[in-house]
Amino acid sequence: MMKLAGYSLAVSFAPISSNVVKSNKRFTVGISHRNRCSYRLFSTHAQKHQLHEKPGVVARYHLPPWFSVAPMMDWTDHHYRTLARLISKHAWLYTEMLAAETIVHQKDNLDRFLAYSPDQHPIVLQIGGSNIENLAKATELANAYCYDEINLNCGCPSPKVAGHGCFGVSLMLNPKFVAEAMSAIAASTNVPVSVKCRIGVDDHDSYNELCDFIYQVSSLSPTKHFIIHSRKALLNGISPAENRSIPPLKYEYFYGLLRDFPDLRFTINGGITSVDEVSAAREAGAHGVMVGRAAYNKFWDMLTLQFMVHQAVILHDVRSLKDI
């Protein structure tokens, strides 16, 4: 694509983070949606009743997703998220990936897959799939559960997902399809939508190809937020765990996107294991930082109050410490 041919990889560290705090459309969209929402939560009837009345109030206190805990199959389950929320008030919590087909085929049993404790807001539902009708239907069914955002998985390299299922990271090879899928998802919900992807797949790993993916998806669909796991995926038979360590991290791709798509929002992910690294990424301009394994293995270090205070000071967005 001609428009993308000129992208280069010089890293821009111009800080642009403060804009994110001020222009957060997520709040208004989320609140109006939730006010219409019939809450279906993983809780007692009494809790349901109480929460039904206050979703707008909950939403007002969400900070933008400048720090989030990554979706992790079998790890970021209901129990983990409950514990994480006890420690961190504002971290955005992602669910494990849920296949659209599961939601659609289990539509009489949705609480089992979609219900969560109301304390877990802000919470993002990650779905996976490659059937547009099912992705749209799954999103529609999830509306009753009032997630704060719907995210499409375009990064999973598991052969079960990227191979047979042809979804996960395989989708990166077909940006037009992803744009169509994201349009269908967005049309089925009132909350923001986002894509989580890698920086490439196998030999499709140039910066220009990544730009082409981002450009097509963002211009052909309402997607404005991308979470970039900053390593490519190898579909040559290595395990998902190896795919999280063997391909090298290329943060320069991430910072290139920040520079070249100033109207979009990007969250950096991959290999961030300390509070200092989170702060450094924010100071370098990342709109958001997503932490996966370290938020599980070094749970306390990554999610403590001290961390939140530290980040909030960087954001200049905390009116008083009781908001943290």
Ligand X SMILES: Cc1cc2nc3c(=O)[nH]c(=O)nc-3n(C[C@H](O)[C@H](O)[C@H](O)COP(=O)(O)O)c2cc1C
Which residues does the annotation mark as catalytic? Answer: 156
The answer to whether 293 contacts ligand X (rule: CB under 6 A) is yes
Distance set, CA 186 to CA 51, 134, 160, 189, 281 (Å): 25, 13, 26, 5, 29
Contacting ligand X (CB under 6 A), which of 20, 72, 93, 150? 72
Alpha-carbon 230 to chain mean position: 14
Contacting ligand X (CB under 6 A), which of 51, 70, 152, 278? 70
Q: Read off the amino acid at residue 291.
A: V
Burial (CB < 10 A; 0-12, 13-18, 19+), residue 9, is: middle
The answer to whether 81 contacts ligand X (rule: CB under 6 A) is no
Judge contact between 34 and 146, C-beta under 8 A. yes
DSSP letters of 72-114?
-TTTSSHHHHHHHHHH-SS-EEEPPPEEHHHHHHTTTSHHHHH
Contacting ligand X (CB under 6 A), which of 64, 157, 285, 292? 292
DSSP state of 53: T
In three-state secondary structure terms, 162 is helix
Binding range to ligand X, per CB under 6 A, among 21-29, 112-120, 210-218, 270-278? 270-278
Q: Number of C-alpha atoms within 13 angstroms, CB side, residue 236?
A: 7
Q: 291 or 312, CB closer to ligand X? A: 291
Q: 37 or 249, CB closer to ligand X? A: 249
Window 157-186: contact mask with ligand X (x via CB under 6 A)? ------------------------------
Binding range to ligand X, per CB under 6 A, among 45-53, 55-63, 64-72, 300-308? 64-72
Contacting ligand X (CB under 6 A), which of 27, 42, 75, 177? 75
Cα–Cα distance, 84 to 208 (Å, whole number): 37
Contacting ligand X (CB under 6 A), which of 291, 302, 303, 312? 291
The answer to whether 141 contacts ligand X (rule: CB under 6 A) is no
Q: Which of 281, 299, 301, 297 is nearest to 289 (CA)?
A: 281
In three-state secondary structure terms, 248 is coil
DSSP state of 17: H
Binding range to ligand X, per CB under 6 A, among 113-121, 132-140, 184-192, 264-272? 264-272
Binding range to ligand X, per CB under 6 A, among 212-220, 253-261, 267-275, 279-287? 267-275
Q: 33 or 126, CB closer to ligand X? A: 126
The answer to whether 250 contacts ligand X (rule: CB under 6 A) is no
The residues of the shown chain that bind ligand X, judged by CB under 6 A, are 70-73, 75, 96-97, 126, 153, 155-156, 196, 229, 244, 269-272, 291-294
